Chains A and B, each alone.
Chain A
């Protein structure tokens, strides 16, 4: 297990470097160069030259690449050209909001998704299965911002139960009220996803020999499902939830924008609108690093709960 863990952690390093290389290439896709894109066509030559020197664009590609990789690996993601704060500072400022939202979504998704998927698997091809599958198909079809807007319209504009904008507040009740709609939006999409994975995972497990043996021994159906089947079905669910993290981030960005909630989404939108390429590049690296980390941890957790993995590798 220890050996597997070390090998898996080491594997993350080349992936990180390849990811950085890709971001480096992406940023150089800008027509003209980043300096022209940031200052506009009518900028003076001196201003362009100064910015190019500041961004290191006047050096050779090889030097730029090496500097970029060393900077990024040492945690120096650059400074926002608008606020002057470092990318990490900007991220740290809004990260709690996004994490809170993501955490709430995962809780809602697990709470509803696992029972929904389990019921569907146990009543396969009967009406609970059809209802559950229809619901999860619907949930998976919503782009994050569309469901967010429809919920906003229904609960905040028409019914007026909850606030339209989630402004920062110190009052804990209002804080929760601000969280409800965004969290429900992300959580329901997550529910659809988890329900679907749970169903197929449960169907796999229910077909195993040991389940038939347990049933033959007269284990009560409720105990059979909850203890014998679900316990093992959870293993792939953990992995899939981990892999879903990237999509969750994408959806939370859109959700935050719709609900004008502070968070990484607003940060990205701001950087986009002010053509702050350093910020965009830094955010991209931060996000991808997050995903790589989560994937690594997911693999490790998987190995921890399923002893077969470490032997297989």
Chain B
């Protein structure tokens, strides 16, 4: 049986167009490099941060950037660079986890809607339309406010806002793939719908989903920062980029470094993910691929 599966799916796996396009598009390497740096900074934060991100030092409160505090200190005398590095861990993990949940739930729903069709499809797509009629930030804000501010609730709130797009992204190619001969062949061999969806359809539409995931992760990090700025993020004293800007905002007239550095961190992370997502999308989309 495994042999049959193998021979049924192999014709679909050609030379990976994504890798080829990435190799050609030099711009995308800026995104990948930037992202790798940020990821490394987040992973190594406890080792490379010059100071404890929570350690208060009232004598040195609000010191501007200097040789001792590279990016200055905040109103409690905490080292901004150390907080920034630790903040990367929260931003990236909230972004990654929420998109992962949204991707798994959304793609499963999308594949089922596309494959089963009929009234189930209509029901799911109706729900998707409704979800999309809530402004992303407001939906996240509402859910986070209702559940209460914590790491887990933030992940849930952002995942809820991003599930609907994945349903759409998974459904359209599923409908295209399910008409192909190898799916018919699978059906005639008596494979269960679950097996057809999981083993035969999913690998064929995975690249579409992954591209969207990188773009939505950019959006998730933006939402996380925005919610933290409003006061619905991971609660203090934990260092989050949005939260740092929120605290620094009170001192914006005297201590610019409190808002500028976390702002740059958010911007660079989102930018890197967007560059990567764009390059991947160009690679997948035959319309833009042929033009290059």
Contacts and interface: CB of A to CB of B under 8 A. Distances in A.
Interface of A: 14-15, 18-19, 22-23, 26-27, 29-31, 124-125, 137-138, 140-146, 149-150, 152-153, 157, 164, 203, 246-247, 249-251, 253-254, 257-258, 268-269, 272-273, 280, 284, 287-288, 291-292, 295
Interface of B: 126-127, 129-138, 141-143, 145-148, 218, 222, 225-226, 229-232, 245, 249, 252-253, 256, 259-260, 263, 266-267, 270-271, 274-275, 278, 291-292
Contact of A143 (B129, B141, B266): B266
A256 B230 CA distance: 12
A18 B122 CA distance: 13
A143 B226 contact: yes
Contact of B256 (A146, A157, A254): A157
A254 B260 contact: no
B141 A272 contact: yes
Given A137-B274, A272-B231, A246 B130 contact: no
Given A26-B146, A143-B222, A287-B138, 10 more contacts: A15-B129, A19-B134, A29-B146, A30-B146, A146-B225, A146-B266, A246-B135, A247-B136, A280-B142, A284-B138
Contacts of B259: 149-150, 153
A291 B230 contact: no
A253 B138 contact: yes
Contacts of B141: 268, 272
A153 B256 contact: yes
Nearest to B126: A18
B274 A288 contact: no
Contacts of A144: 226
Given A15-B126, A18-B127, A280-B142, A141 B133 contact: no
Chain B facing A: main interface SS:
helix
A291 to B, nearest CB: 5
A292 B126 CA distance: 13
B133 A153 contact: no
Contacts of B271: 137-138, 141
B261 to A, nearest CB: 11
Closest 9 A-B residue pairs measured CB to CB? A250-B137, A246-B135, A141-B271, A141-B270, A143-B222, A18-B130, A250-B135, A29-B146, A146-B263
16 contacts: A26-B143, A137-B271, A141-B274, A142-B270, A146-B266, A153-B256, A153-B259, A246-B136, A247-B136, A250-B135, A272-B232, A284-B134, A284-B138, A284-B142, A288-B135, A291-B133
Contact of A254 (B142, B226, B266): B226
A149 B249 contact: yes
Contacts of B147: 29-31
Given A15-B129, A254-B226, A152 B252 contact: yes
Contacts of B266: 143, 146
